[in-house]
Amino acid sequence: MTVESLTNLTIEEARSAVAAGRTTATALAVAHYDRIEVEDKAINSYLALSRERALVQAEKIDAMAQRGEELPPLAGVPVGIKDVLAMRGAPATAGSLILKGYRPPYDATTVDRLEAAGAVLLGKLNCDEFAMGSSNENSAYGPVRNPRAMDRVPGGSSGGSAAAVSADLCVASLGTDTGGSIRQPAAFCGVVGVLPTYGRVSRYGLIAFASSLDRVGPFTKNVKDAATMLEVLAGKDAMDATSSDRPAGGYVDALEKPVEGLRIGVPEEYFGEGLDPEIRAAVEKALDGLKAAGCTIKKVSLPHTKYAVPTYYVIATAEASSNLSRFDGVRFGLRTAEAKSLSDLFRKTRDAGFGPEVKRRILLGTYALSAGYYDAYYKKAQQVRTLLTRDFLAAFNEVDAIVAPVTPTPAFKLGEKTDDPIKMYLEDIYSVAASLAGICGMSVPCGETSAALPIGVQVLGRHFDEATMLRVAKAIEAAQG
């Protein structure tokens, strides 16, 4: 098999090829590294490669295959890891200068579970600094370019994770989603991205941005691969007190069930002013496909949607202010050499280590939590969060899943919105409400614009009902042909 044929495989195809002896896990890893060396110079999706660890794992899988043993679900599958997740021996910078040189001595639970399932971990993927951004232009190590249109952003914050899958630089990847950071890049790069229910996948080993919102999820080339990845990742973790002990799994089998009879909600608030006409048409076409498959399409209302963006940017920044206080130049990462006192060390290290967007969010969050403003901002935002959650609970009393746009526009040009934070924040208008409510969601490709830019459709499901969400996504995918 050629490098090209080895790097455009799905999870199922890669595992089957290794099991049948048509290729080896080592050949798959080497082919991906060869492609990264050529293609990633322009894309900039990888920040570090873990070649030695990857080849040791590949050799283990090849030995199992040669002995005729039953292979695990991700045997030999090359996977990339977003650089906000701890991976033993590899850098974990979170896209920031303040963590330059930091190498965690342990694996995140999600990383550990992938490797236990046979995945070959290629390296760490670029992202917006501390996962704060919607374009992957906030990384201290340079922006990521969208492989589908090199003058465009890949989305953020998991831009490197989406771009790497889109460009065949890995078969699947891990990203994180706090307010849309898996779903939006998936839509922009034309791949599948899954936001699991809060508590469904362990956050142990994740460098925190906003602890009540952060979630880890996969990027893949199709819906079945996403179900396979989620089956490996999901489940209770004793190392994460917020992980749920609700039963997990059965996601791949659920894809075989027909969607006939399912009720699909269409939120009127997601189809208003500002939605690109080509995206609207693509989402409506996806809904027509579901109707043809036997689904009932029903309008629903999520009346507090208009408050979602300001609510998110109060809660997320407040939690970021708290979480990022640990980066002070004392324990790990960057330390300025010019400090004359301890307070001077803190101030100068944080000033040199954090980028403009992270500083902006720390300031916003610190203000929202300060004496005299806590009740007016943070407490009020938490109350509105409850109203947003109730909107979804009421809607899910009437429907089995909700289908909506992921983004108001297709991928925009690099530099187009960097000078206007408000415009950038409004990129999250269709994604943050689900994040605040803790429900599951995903982005599935559903066509292209006239300029050949990918369009994604968003499928939202009840808490811990990833199985139904994936069934609907599979039906949308099937209708695309």
Tell me the catalytic residues: 82, 157, 181
- Based on its alpha-carbon atoms, the radius of gyration of the chain, rounded to whole angstroms, reads 21
Question: How many residues are given for the chain?
Answer: 481
**For 293-339, where are the alpha helices, taking DSSP H only?**
308-323
**Token pair for residue 188?**
């922009």
Q: Which residues are CB-contacts of 453 (< 8 A; sequence separation ≥ 6)?
A: 148, 149, 152, 188, 410, 411
Q: What is the DSSP letter of 106?
A: S
Spatial separation of the C-alpha atoms in residues 316 and 310, rounded to whole Å? 10
Q: What is the largest CA-CA distance in the chain?
A: 70
The amino acid at residue 473 is A
Q: Is 66 exposed, middle or buried (0-12, 13-18, 19+ CB in 10 A)?
A: exposed
How far is the CA of 262 from the CAs of 141, 154, 252, 393, 395, in angstroms?
Answer: 45, 33, 18, 17, 14
**Cβ neighbours for 43, distance < 8 A, ≥ 6 positions apart:** 144, 145, 147, 150, 163, 164, 167, 169
d(CA 17, CA 11): 10
**Cis peptide leading into 325, omega within 30 of 0?**
no
Contact 345, 330 (CB under 8 A): yes
Pick from 227, 207, 241: which is nearest to 111 by CA?
207
Terminal-residue alpha carbon distance, the chain: 26
What distance in Å separates the CA atoms of residue 297 and residue 299, rounded to the nearest whole number?
A: 7
Sheet architecture: strand order including 46-49: 46-49, 120-125, 78-82, 172-177, 215-220, 192-195, 440-448, 454-461, 401-405, 263-267, 296-300
The dihedrals phi and psi of 248, each to the nearest 5 degrees, come to -125, 160
**Bridge pairing between strands 454-461 and 78-82:** unpaired
